[in-house]
Amino acid sequence: MNAPTVVDSVAALRAQVQDWRRAGLRVAMVPTMGALHDGHISLVRIALEQADRCVVSIFVNPTQFAPTEDLDKYPRQLARDLDRLREAGAHLAFTPSVGEMYPAGFATKISVGGPSSGLETDFRPSFFDGVATVVAKLFLQAAPDFAVFGEKDYQQLCVVRQLCRDLDLPVEIVGAPTVRDAHGLAMSSRNAYLGEAELDVARLLNVILRRTAGALSTGTDEAAATEDAAKALISAGFRKVDYVAARASVTLAPWQRNRGGRLLAAAWLGTTRLIDNVEIPSA
Q: Which residues are annotated as a binding site for ATP?
A: 33-40, 150-153, 179, 187-190
Give dist(CA 153, CA 178) in Å, integer. Answer: 9
Where is the binding site for (R)-pantoate, in residues?
64, 156
**How many angstroms separate the most distant Cα atoms in the chain?**
58
Q: Are 35 and 189 in contact (CB under 8 A)?
A: yes
Torsion angle (degrees, nearest 10) of CA 204, 210, 224, 215: -140
The set of catalytic residues is 40
Q: How much is the CA Rg of the chain, to the nearest whole Å? A: 19
Where is the binding site for beta-alanine, in residues?
64
CA atoms within a 13 Å half-sphere pointing along the CA-CB vector of 2: 7
Give dist(CA 65, CA 72) in Å, integer. Answer: 10
Q: Which amino acid is at 152?
A: K
C-alpha distances in angstroms, 240 versus 46, 70, 230, 274?
35, 17, 9, 11
The strand pairing partners of 93, in sequence order, are 6, 56
Give dist(CA 209, CA 3) in Å, integer. Answer: 39
Pairing of β 261-269 and β 240-248: antiparallel
Give dist(CA 94, CA 31) in Å, integer. Answer: 9
Sign of CA dihedral 86, 89, 91, 96: negative
Where is the binding site, in residues?
33-40, 64, 150-153, 156, 179, 187-190
